[in-house]
């Protein structure tokens, strides 16, 4: 049982944007900060954009930023957009289930209860809890150095 790499980088993209405050973040910068390719990040941006978590500004000075306050974006909002499936058992999708116990079995209900407990914790944590403007995360991502450079210029 794992979360996908896409989900993990979705969290990190949103943390980067949060650490960067209302400023636009370039995908090239985010890719560099995390050591991944831009095409990989673009694929993850699509569901985040369609799901209303980020907004994209096109053009030479374009980039991405959070479309909502970081404290309003929970970890559950993210996994709902980026994970393909939370199928804990074949019988979660009843149409596919060919188990002879499908009508009476309590396994599915127990697994659903466990999954709901997992979701409830994710719903308690927001992107703002993980990264805010001017905290150490921004420094580690190179955002503070960039601001210094701007001030010095």
Tokens 């400023």 locate to: 23
Interface residue with a second copy, options 1, 150, 151, 153 (CB under 8 A):
1
Beta carbon of residue 48, minimum distance to a second copy (angstroms, whole number): 16
Give the CA radius of gyration of the chain.
19
Binding residue for a second copy, selected from 29, 55, 115, 146, defined by CB under 8 A = 115
Answer whether 141's CB lies under 8 Å from 13's CB: no
Distance spanning both ends of the chain, measured CA to CA = 49
Q: Which two tokens stand for residue 79?
A: 């996994």
Using CB under 8 A, which of the segments 43-51, 62-70, 132-140, 144-152 binds a second copy?
A: 132-140
* 29 class by beta-carbon count within 10 Å (0-12 exposed, 13-18 middle, 19+ buried): middle
CB of 38 to a second copy, least distance (A): 17
Contact of 129 with 146, CB cutoff 8 Å = no
Nearer to a second copy by C-beta: 57 or 148?
Answer: 148
Q: Which position has the token pair 């991405």?
A: 64
Tell me the window of 39-47, 52-60, 61-69, 115-123 that interacts with a second copy (CB under 8 A). 115-123
- The site map against a second copy for 71-100 (x = CB under 8 A) is ----x---x---x-xxxxxx-------xxx
Q: Is the dihedral of CA 118, 120, 125, 126 positive or negative?
A: positive
List interacting residues with a second copy (CB under 8 A).
1-5, 8, 11-12, 15, 33-35, 75, 79, 83, 85-90, 98-101, 104-107, 110-111, 113-115, 117-122, 125, 129-130, 136-137, 140-141
């Amino acid at each position: 049982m794992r979360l996908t790499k896409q989900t993990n980088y979705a969290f990190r993209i949103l943390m980067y944007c949060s650490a960067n405050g209302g400023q636009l973040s370039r995908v090239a910068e985010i890719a560099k900060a995390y050591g991944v390719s831009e095409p990989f990040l673009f694929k993850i941006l699509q569901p985040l954009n369609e799901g209303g978590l980020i907004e994209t500004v096109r053009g030479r000075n374009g980039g991405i930023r959070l479309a909502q306050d970081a404290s309003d974006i929970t970890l559950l909002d993210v996994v709902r957009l980026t994970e393909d499936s939370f199928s804990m058992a074949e019988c979660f999708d009843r149409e596919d289930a060919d188990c002879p116990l499908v009508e009476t079995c309590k396994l599915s209900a127990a697994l659903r209860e466990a999954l709901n407990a997992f979701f409830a914790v994710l719903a308690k944590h927001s992107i703002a809890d993980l990264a805010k403007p001017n905290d150490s995360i921004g420094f580690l991502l190179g955002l503070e150095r960039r601001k210094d450079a701007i001030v010095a210029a």
